[in-house]
Structure formats: structure tokens, C-alpha cells
Chains A and B, each alone.
Chain A
Amino acid sequence: MLKARGRGAAARRAVAVILGPVVLSLVASGCVPADSTPVLTWYTTSDDGGQAVLAAQCTQAAQGAYRIRTSGLPTSADAQREQLARRLAASDTSMDIMSLDPPFIPEFAEPGFLAPVPSDIAARTTAHSLAGAKAGASWKGELVAIPFWANTQLLWYRKSVARKAGLDMSQPVSWEQLMDAAQSQDKYLGVQGKRGESMTVWVNALIKGAGGEILANPEAKPRDLSLGLDSPAGTEAARIVSRIGRQALGGPGLPTASENESMLLFQGAKGSFMVNWPFVWPAMNAAVKAGNLNESLPDDIGWAPYPQTVAGTPSAPPLGGIDLGVGSASKHPDLVYRAIECIVSPQNQTEYFLGNGNPPADSTAYEDPRVAEQFPMAPLIRDSLETSAPRPQTPYYSEVSTALQRYWAPPGDVDPATTPRLTGEFILQVLHGERLL
């Protein structure tokens, strides 16, 4: 009897041990109703905490209409796309607000994964949007996401090197001039030669700068796509990449250099010119402040419009940034768009720029005097965003980009006579399902 009672007590203890944590976790995960305020999930990209601050501010401004909860996405753009695509395809109802990289928007818009943007919200939030930012948030001529912040690359240069090379940086310069200057001064160019997204950014800017296109009709189905790589613009782009690679103008680290490596190279003794996003400015100032870089370095740094592919032809700076999209399975699309309108207000974009270094997509956000003080290159960023060119806007962007990288990296292997043609053929074979990638 005692034994049986003992067994019963042991069984009860076992049940308590097993079920206790389950009940606790259910309570903690919110299965027990506590608050009827709708919770909107914002999938954010990594930053210095600015998106979390905006979420808190807009939650407060909503006065109980909704609450924004942030959920961090992976750091790399590719990994962000993969996670978002899986959740969207599974009709995850938590996809309320998504921080989206512009190149991946067509892929999500085409199958109807994004909730339509109400016309009044579209009109109000893009009334002063910069042209490039608005183009990047559109698919087939329609706004499918709301521009939040925009990004573009500038030409950063060491004033001392440019002076010695005899370049007048008040005038637009070409890649040819930069390559000659780096060679004559025995310095390295800061470019991104790694097999990665940065290579597509570079090649796209080079081809667009020569008046060409990677995809002639990006909105077409794979069977009807026509490529613009095998063209004078493609050949010129290949010539520039090839010369930098073969003459080692990008330094020994070129085949593995992404934006950060380029920045470190540029900050070093052999730095000369660099194409890169504006994050390099706050990063460099922070390094100087931390004592990791010489105090005199910022005085030697200048900025200019993105270099011209063909001398005399205006360049087409790369376009980046983040747009806010809404999942079509979201339970509260009306509230979500109200929240987005709050997030992307010009004041918030300004604060976000000042706090996190990501340039606004709204032109009026640049008028704040604090912006000019903290980012003296802000007017150039704004101008570049007006002339910037998006990467190919196609639902198959990922394939196009990855296929291109296989032929254009490392830069030393690029052959102007064959690479553009072979790349075009390969991209079509991949899109037609005839080749692996």
C-alpha cells in the first residue's frame, strides 16, 4: 500500500515536472489572453537600434490603436530574403511590416505576397520621395512598398592622392582616370571584387553608366527575357573590371573584398579612391574617435559623384536602401499602413539618418540643418539618389545576380571579349531550368 502511494506521488511529481514548463511557456508565449491591443510585427534589418526606437515612438503615437513589436532579420540581404520568402509562402500572419531590400521586391510582389498599398497612403508617403527610392519600391509601374530609407554609393577619395595624381575632383571623373591615377601613384582602388551581391551592384552601375542594361525587359517571363550584357556597354564594364583585376589595382585582397574590406583598404597607407555606401563616413569617424585611426584622416577624405563608365556620360550610381512592405496574410493591413505612415514620416527619417547613418528616402528630410552638420556629403547623396539606377527589377533577380557573379568574380578572370556574352548565355540557361547555379 505504502509502495502504491509512493508510486502515485512519484507519478504526480513526474506529471508536474513535465507539464509545469509547458504551462509556463504557454503563458509566456501569449496563449493566455492579456491585452486586446493588436500587435503588429515589424521584421527589421540590423541597424544601431533605430527601427526599435521608431517602433516604440509610433506605438506611443497610436495611443492604444496598435502596438509595434520588432523582430530582427538576419544580417545579410540574401538571408533576409530567404527568411521572408519562406514565411510569405507559408502565409505567415505575422508578416505585418517587413524591411525589404529593393531588389527582392518584384519576387514578392509578383505572386501576390504583398498587400496592396492604399492609394491615399501611397500619395502621402511618397509625395517627396526621391526618384530612385520610389522606383525601387515599385513593380510594373505600381508602388508595392513604402520607401523608408534610401542608399547610394559615392566616390570617396584621398585628397592627397588625387592632388598628386593631378585630378580635378570638382569635376566628374571616369573610371579610366581613377585607374590611371591609382597606377601612377602606386595605390589601390577600393572596389568590391568578391563573389557576392556587391559585385552585381558594381557591374550594374558600370553597365548602366554606359547606357546599357543587364536585362532589357526585366518584367518579362524567363522564356521571353532578353539580356543586354553582350553589348558595347557590357564590354566596357568588363574592360574596367578586368583591368582592375589583372593589373592588381584593387590590391591582393580584391577577390575577397566586400564593402567593409574596401573601406579598410581605403583607410590604409595605400588607399586612394573607393566606391562605397555612405556608412563609411560614420564608421571612419567612430574609428578615429576610438583611437583606431589617425585623427588627420577625415581631413584627407573627399567625396564626389560616382565615377563615369564612359568619360563625359553621366554615371548611374547604385541604388540601395530599405522599403517597408506588408504581407498579404497580415490580419491588420489598415492598421499596418497607418503604422508605416508614422514610421516613414520625414521627421522620423531625419532622426533615423542622424542616429543610424542611413540616408532618408524623402527629399525634405535633408533640409534639417543637423543633417548638413553631421553629414556634409548629404546634398551629394540626395543628388545621387535622384540619378541612381536600380538593379534589374525582376522576380528572378536572385538568379540573375548569382549567375552574373559566377562570371565576373574574381575580377582578374574577366575577359572583355567573352565574359559578357558567356554571362548572358548562362543566365538564360539558368532561368530556363537547363543549368544549375
Chain B
Amino acid sequence: MSVDTRRRSSAGRAAQPVRSERVRAEARLGWWLAGPAFVVMLAVTLYPILQAGWDSLFHFRLTAPADKSFAGAANYVNILGDPLFWQSLGVTLLITVVTVAVELLLGFALALVMQRGLKSVRGLVRTAILIPYGIITVVSAFSWFYMFDISSGFVNSWFDWVPGIGPETNWFAGTWGSLFVVIASEIWKTTPFISLLLLAGLAQVPTELEEAAEVDGATWSERMARVVLPNMKAAIMVAVLFRALDAFRIFDNVFIMTNGAYGTEVLSLLAYRTSIGRLEIGLGSAISVLLFLCVLLICFISIKAFKIDLAGTRGGK
């Protein structure tokens, strides 16, 4: 294949840069190395997705296999017309927005402290703040549950000086108390993740740009807003996207603390309870498909909103 044929010559299109033999060899090697993993990934992710899509078109209960019948879009119509679905979606979005927003602020502050304030003990601090992230989510969920539980928890006695908190405060008896604990535990556990991503982003900001801005008389907040943050947009996007997807798929904390009671149901739990609890494979698959579509939508919105093309960034450019 000649180099010329690789050029895109049609009018209005930017010309494709000519790839050297070395680049092409690297690309081939890349495919050979990543190919098997790619095939395995397709097998373990694409197959279940297609299976769920197929199952969602049926009325199918695991313990009544003889009653299986084609439903078409009926499962989707039922789900989208049910207030419980929209309530679960609302709770999921609330948890996602609040946790990501708080974590972004806290994580950025921690990253700044690690990068600028505590250079001598950076390694130690980095390890220390990683501990919550290293704890298994179910274990963390149980810890937070028992901390706030009315019979076994210590939070009520420690914080009884705070108005509204006393020995008889039952955090898990209502929507807002439960959501507060769920959100707090999420923030505690995953802020370190965001802070490390942002620390990596901070490290990539050229110091000479900041110094130049400082010489020009820019204040700290101006340097942050005009120099630092725009230069770490990719890192922020990755942090927001990863955490948003993670938060949107929240399951463990809610499952352990409330099991979806009293208005704390989230979409993953609804899908789980329908598929696994009720054994309604068709209906549960339809919820899972909708959950998957929501995840895709979040990816799409994040990438569009940040206007970053991660795939277009190549090393050694």
C-alpha cells in the first residue's frame, strides 16, 4: 500500500499525516499485544449485554420457565411508566451529583496540599489517604452502618451536642438520614481516588506558566482559574467521568445500610432485586439495559462537555 493512497485527498478534509514504518510496526505490535485481551473483553462484556437485551424482550420468571412469552417492548413500557423507576433514578442522580461535586472539591484541596504544602511527607500522606480507597466497599458499608446504627453506633453519643442528634436519632428510619450516611460513606471512601487523579493532573501543569502568571501579577485564585485548571482539564474529566460512572452504579452501600427501604432505592438495586430477588429475568434485564444506556449517556455527556479527545492524544508527540 503506497503512502499516497493513505492520504485523504477529498476536498474539505484535513490531510492525514503520513505514518512512518516504525509507527505502523508499533501499531501492529500493539494489536498483537492487546488483541487477545480485546477478544476476551468482548466475550465477557458484549455477550452479557446482548443476552440482557434479548431477555428483556420476554416475560420470563426463573421459577416458571413454562410461562415464558414474548413481551416485545412491554417490559420497557412498564418500567418507564412506573414511579418507582423514576424515584430510583432520581435518588441515583442525587447521590451521583452530590458525591462527585463534594469529592471534586475535597479531592482538589487534598491534591494541592499534597503537591505544594507537604512535599516532605508527600509519600506518607498519599499512602494514608489511600487507605479508605483500599478498603473493600462492603466492609466500609458495614463499618458506616454500625457507626450510625441506633443500637450499636457511637455517632449519636459522640455528636449529641449537635442540634438534631441525640440518643434516639435513628439515621436509617427515613430517606434523608439514610442518604446522608450513604453519601458520606461514599465521599469518605472515594475522595482519595479523585485526589490522586487530580494530583497527577496538577503535576502536568507547566510550572513556568504559573511563574509567568505570578510575575504578571496574577493572584492565587486567578492563577488557579486561568492557568492551573485549564491545563489539567483532561485529568479533571477523567476524575469526573470515572467517579460519576462509579457513583451511578452504586450498590453495596445502599444494599448493606437500607436495602432500598424508605425511599433510598437506587437503579442498580432495583435491577438486582427484580432479576435476582424476584427472579423476573425479563423485567430485570430491561432495567439493566436502561441502566447501561444511562451509563453510556453519562460517558457521552462528559466527553462532550469537556471537549477532550483522549484517543487523539499520543505519546511522543
Contacts and interface: CB of A to CB of B under 8 A. Distances in A.
B85 interface: yes
B261 interface: yes
B182 to A, nearest CB: 14
Interface stretch (B133-141, B167-175, B194-202, B225-233): B167-175
A334 to B, nearest CB: 26
B63 A256 contact: no
A228 B60 CA distance: 28
Contacts of B283: 433, 436
A82 interface: yes
Contacts of B82: 435-436
B206 to A, nearest CB: 45
Interface string A376-410: 00000000000000000001001100100000011
A78 B79 contact: no
A61 interface: no
Contacts of B270: 436
A261 B170 contact: no
A236 interface: no
Contact of A436 (B85, B174, B262): B85
B173 A256 contact: yes
A108 B270 CA distance: 23
A89 B84 CA distance: 29
Contacts of A196: 259
A195 interface: yes
Given A85-B279, A402-B277, A409-B261, A435 B84 contact: yes
B277 A78 contact: yes
Interface in A221-254: 252-254
B273 interface: yes
B33 to A, nearest CB: 18
Given A108-B63, A433-B78, A256 B150 contact: yes
Contacts of A399: 278
Contact of B63 (A111, A252, A253): A111
Nearest to B284: A436
A437 B273 contact: yes
A261 B149 CA distance: 11
A264 B277 CA distance: 29
A227 to B, nearest CB: 18
B62 A86 contact: yes
Contacts of B64: 110-111, 395
A434 B274 CA distance: 13
Interface string A71-86: 0000000100010011
B63 A395 contact: yes
A86 B275 CA distance: 11
A437 B278 contact: yes
B9 interface: no
Interface residues of B, number: 33
A436 B63 contact: no
A259 interface: no
B73 interface: no
Interface string B261-290: 110000000100110111100010001000
Given A86-B62, A195-B259, A436-B82, A256 B149 contact: yes
Contacts of A402: 273, 277-278
B59 interface: yes
A256 B264 CA distance: 14
B170 A255 contact: yes
A213 interface: no
B65 interface: yes
Contacts of A436: 78-79, 82, 84-85, 270, 274, 283, 287
Contacts of A433: 59, 74, 78, 283
B207 interface: no
B85 A195 contact: no
Interface string B155-192: 00000000000001110111000000000000000000
A195 B265 CA distance: 13
A261 B151 contact: yes
A91 to B, nearest CB: 10
A436 B260 CA distance: 13
A195 B261 CA distance: 6
B66 interface: yes
Given A111-B64, A398-B278, A264 B151 contact: yes
Contacts of B84: 435-437
A113 interface: yes
Given A110-B63, A435-B82, A436-B85, A253 B259 contact: no
Given A108-B63, A113-B63, A434 B78 contact: yes
Contacts of A113: 63
B262 A410 contact: yes
A17 to B, nearest CB: 19
A323 interface: no
A96 interface: no
Contacts of B150: 252-253, 256
Interface in A194-212: 194-196
A107 interface: yes
Contacts of A409: 261-262
Interface string B211-230: 00000000000000000000
Given A89-B63, A436-B283, A255 B79 contact: no
A108 B63 CA distance: 7
A436 B82 CA distance: 7
B62 A85 contact: yes
Nearest to A78: B277
Contacts of A255: 170, 172-174, 262
B267 to A, nearest CB: 11
A437 B283 CA distance: 11
A399 B277 CA distance: 9
Contacts of B168: 252
Interface string B3-37: 00000000000000000000000000000000000
For the complex of A and B, the 6 pairs showing the least CB-CB separation, nearest first, are A255-B173, A252-B168, A195-B261, A253-B150, A436-B84, A436-B82
29 contacts: A82-B277, A86-B62, A89-B65, A110-B63, A111-B63, A111-B65, A111-B66, A195-B261, A196-B259, A252-B168, A252-B170, A252-B173, A253-B151, A253-B170, A255-B170, A256-B149, A261-B151, A409-B261, A433-B74, A435-B78, A435-B84, A436-B82, A436-B84, A436-B85, A436-B270, A436-B274, A436-B283, A437-B84, A437-B273
Interface of B: 59, 62-66, 74, 78-79, 82, 84-85, 149-151, 168-170, 172-174, 259, 261-262, 270, 273-274, 276-279, 283, 287
Given A85-B63, A437-B273, 4 more contacts: A82-B277, A89-B65, A255-B173, A436-B79
